[in-house]
Every structure is written in structure tokens, then in C-alpha cells.
Chain A
């Protein structure tokens, strides 16, 4: 890179994404802390290691094929029946390693000299930003299934979700040229459905096959509240997730681009701005307003609907941000706050209704906080942003309306279809089928005796060896279950 301004923009962008990656690491720290707090003492270390080992497995598989999926599938199969060429994203590319941007000796097709310079600097940090979304999407499932899933099953499921299904949904609906964006006018700027909806649907698919924890439901079907070992840890974990969410929001933006000259192609003009992933303008300032206002709306609603329960108040903050995320690039901050409140109320009510009606044991409310809130937020954005151009590509190919420039407009039908596709088709269905297969092989759920004794008991040992053990009502229930009663 020899041009001063271009070099500065590329290296600033490289540094920007690097910072977001470090911040997003806190999301995973938060998930681990929160799950450790939510699980019972007999299961703590198993819970921790299950979620920790997601990191290397999703990372290496995202390197092997996840990154390529994002660039190969955006228009497949609805606009183009062949996959796009993405020579910088295949794992054998020189650009998937330390590279100075000069000649590419192994492969040169489809790569201009400028492309090579760009990807040599951006590939690793852009890959990592998407990878951290992969961890998050996969990790959302982790909390729902604690205390009875085998680690082996979980680690296979997270590869499917983290390195295949979520990144396929991102290619289709969270990409500047994705077919859902161009045909449906789909808009989900900060991933209400793209990350959270699909993760919630995936968790639901696994939970239906996995079944509830022993003792979660009484013989008459009444749900029991299984006490968390450390509510304080749970809330600190959620605080850490909030913190990492800042990085997540920033990573969803492109920090600086010549919107008029480079994006719209107007010769002789330049207008530099941040954009969202669809290359439509927004700013860090705008999303900072909306992140905090939707967090606040979620906390306020969570506190009210749960009558001050710490877990649901904190979860409300998270669900609030998730609900408003679809349109947080454009909303007014007070709109973001109100939309967050609606999402939290629905997610909370849905969680307990589904638990009672379908005997679903979602240990941390992940399906509700991520799945229902994400789904609702995407649908709301379709109404709130109805008429905005969804992207920067013209052609009058939008199914549900185009603007005067021929660009598909954001609309309620497109966003509803997108929410359905991500939650049910790419989320629920693949995980339900995979869980069925794993269950059939005996790989899904730990044996009953192991679950009753605790997943740490035979292997890791006590997490708090210097602290006395105090039985709760759940220990009595376990004893009854061991005797075949209860």
C-alpha cells in the first residue's frame, strides 16, 4: 500500500475490527460465567468445559469452510444457481495467512491487485469478527441444554450452527448482495434473527429431542424452579455479555467507506460514512444511542414483568437490545426503547407459556431471550422501516416493492419471511434432525444415573471442595427419582 489515504483507511478498518473482536470475546466469557452460575454445583465444570471447547471447534471449522460459505452463497440459489468465487476465503488461499498484499502465487483468478492488497489486511480481522458471531450463535444453545447433554453431541451441534447454518443465513440475509436483501427487502442490521433468531430456533430443536432435566417437572407436569448455584454469577455473566455486545454492534458496521463515490459509483464525488452490512448509511453515534436506549427499555420491562427478579431483569436488558437490533441503525432512540419493552414482555410471557404447555426445559431462557425476542424484533422492523431502501443494488427485482432507484424496499412480508426462515428452517429443523440422529446413536444425553449423581461427580470432582454441601429440595427429588419414584 503506497497511497496515504487508502492505506490509512485500510489499516484503520483493520484495527477497528480487531478491537471489536477483543470486545466480543467478553460475550463468551459472559456466557461461561452465566452458565456456571445457572448450573447446579454437581454440574459446574462439565457446563464450563462444554461451552469452552466450542471455541476451538467452531474456530477451526469456520476457517475450513464457514468463511467460504459467507462469500459463496449470497445469491445462491434464488438469484444465481452457481456459487460465487471467493478465492480469498478458501482455507488453502494464501490470503488466509500472513500476507503483505503483493503477488499471489498460488491462485490469481478473480483477484485484482487492489483486492489482494485489501484482503491481505482485512481478511483475518473480518474473518474473526464473523467468527465471534459464530461463537455467540452456537453458545446461545449451550445454556439451554445444560446439566444433561453429552459434550460430544453439543460439540457436533455447534459446528453445524456456528460454521454452517448461521453463516449461510448471514450470506443470504446479512450481506450487501444477499438474495433475501435483494428479493425480499430483508433488513436485520444488528442480527435480531440473523444471530439470535436462528440460535433460539436451534436451541428449541435440540431441546425437543433432548427433553427436560430430571426433576424439572413433577409427576403431574407442574414445572419446578431448579435453583441456580450462584445468581450473582449469572448476573455478572449477563453484564459481561452486555459489554461484549458493544463490540458486536460495532463489528456489524463498516467503519468508513466512500458511500457516494465507491458504493454508489458517482464519479467525482465523495461522502465518507460508516454503513451497516448492507452498505446503507448509519453511524456509530446512532447505534450507541439505540443500543443504550434499547438496553434500558429491556431492563425496565424485564424488571416490571418479572417483579424485580434479577435473572429476568438482566435477561430483559439483553432481550431488549436483541429485539431492537433489526432496526437499530435507523430507529429513533425512544422507538428503540419502546420496541425493546414490547419484545421483553412477549419473550417472558412466551417462555413460561411454552414451559407449561410443552414441558420444555430451557434452563436459562435462551429460546425466549434470543429466539422469541429476535423473531419479534425482526417482524417489528419490517413495519417500522417499511419503505426504506434495503440495500444499494438496483434492478427492480424486489418481490414486495422497489423504490424509484429500483432498490427493494424494507417491508413487513420480507422481514416476516426472513424471521420464519431463520428460526424454523435454518434454526429449528437442522438441529432437530441432527439431535434425532445423535439421540439414535446414544450420543445425545448422559445416562440417567450420571445426571442424577451430577456430571462432575465421577470425573472433575467438587467445584468448591472447601465449602460444605447443603442439600436443596432438588436433592430430595433426585433421591426419589433414583428410587424410581417422583
Chain B
């Protein structure tokens, strides 16, 4: 039984009708962790992306990157 709704016959007395009422606090906790975790992942991922790109630009030369701006595929072949 995931909810306290067993019938729609007395709808006026119904309160929360989502599944598992009573677990709001754990849901909030999970939601906050997802939010903060997403920021952590995004920051790490974006910084790595820039580090990799800088390393590549140092290898191929920034001039080449400038000549291929916006054209990722062809730049990576050089």
C-alpha cells in the first residue's frame, strides 16, 4: 500500500494523494543532495574540460585553435 487513498467516494476529506505520504523529510534531503551533488559534478566536469582543452591548445598551438574556432572536429585532427 503506497498511499492512504483507497476510494474517491469522500474526496472532500482527502489530503495528500501522492504515494508514500509521510516521507516528505527524506524526499527533501534526497533532493538537496541531488542539487548539491549536481553542482559538484558540474564544476569538476567543466574544469576538467578546460584543462584538457588548454593541454590540447598547447600541443597544437593556440593559432591553430584560433583558425578553427567553433570547429571542434577539424581542430582535433591536427
Contacts and interface: CB of A to CB of B under 8 A. Distances in A.
Interface of A: 1-2, 41-42, 57, 60-61, 63-64, 91-94, 96-106, 116, 150-152, 155-156, 443, 446-447, 449-450, 452-454, 456-463, 465, 469, 475, 478-479, 482
B42 A151 contact: yes
A457 B15 contact: no
Secondary structure call for the B interface: helix
B69 A453 contact: yes
Interface residues on B, range: 35 or more
B63 A482 contact: yes
A103 B53 CA distance: 57
A99 B15 contact: yes
Given A155-B39, A482-B63, A457 B70 contact: yes
Nearest to B17: A98
B28 A64 contact: yes
Given A97-B16, A102-B12, A105-B16, A462 B50 contact: no
B66 A452 contact: yes
B1 interface: no
Interface of B: 11-18, 21-22, 24-25, 27-28, 31-32, 34-35, 38-39, 42-43, 46-47, 49-50, 52-54, 56-57, 62-63, 65-66, 68-73, 75
B17 A459 contact: no
Nearest to A96: B24
B72 A457 contact: yes
A94 B16 contact: yes
12 contacts: A42-B69, A91-B28, A93-B24, A104-B16, A106-B22, A152-B39, A155-B39, A450-B50, A453-B69, A456-B72, A458-B57, A475-B66
A156 B39 CA distance: 8
B74 to A, nearest CB: 9
Contact of B54 (A97, A106, A150, A447): A447
Contact of A152 (B16, B17, B43, B52): B43
The secondary structure that dominates the A interface is loop
Nearest to A478: B66
Contacts of A98: 16-18
Contacts of B68: 457
A60 B53 contact: no
Closest 4 CB pairs of A and B: A458-B53, A461-B72, A453-B65, A100-B14
B49 A458 contact: yes
B32 to A, nearest CB: 6
Given A61-B35, A443-B43, A458-B49, 18 more contacts: A1-B12, A2-B12, A57-B38, A63-B31, A92-B28, A98-B16, A102-B15, A104-B15, A105-B15, A105-B16, A106-B21, A106-B22, A150-B50, A155-B42, A446-B50, A453-B66, A457-B75, A479-B63
A86 to B, nearest CB: 15
Contacts of B32: 64
B39 A103 contact: no
A57 B35 contact: yes
B66 A482 contact: yes
Contacts of A456: 70, 72
Contacts of A469: 69-71
Given A91-B31, A459-B49, A99 B17 contact: yes
Nearest to A453: B65
A98 B11 CA distance: 13
Nearest to A64: B32
Given A97-B16, A98-B18, A103-B13, A449 B70 contact: no
Contact of A450 (B28, B38, B54, B71): B54
Given A151-B42, A453-B62, A469-B71, A100 B28 contact: no
Contact of A102 (B14, B46, B53, B54): B14
B72 A100 contact: no
A100 B15 contact: yes
A462 B69 CA distance: 8
A381 to B, nearest CB: 37
A446 B54 CA distance: 11
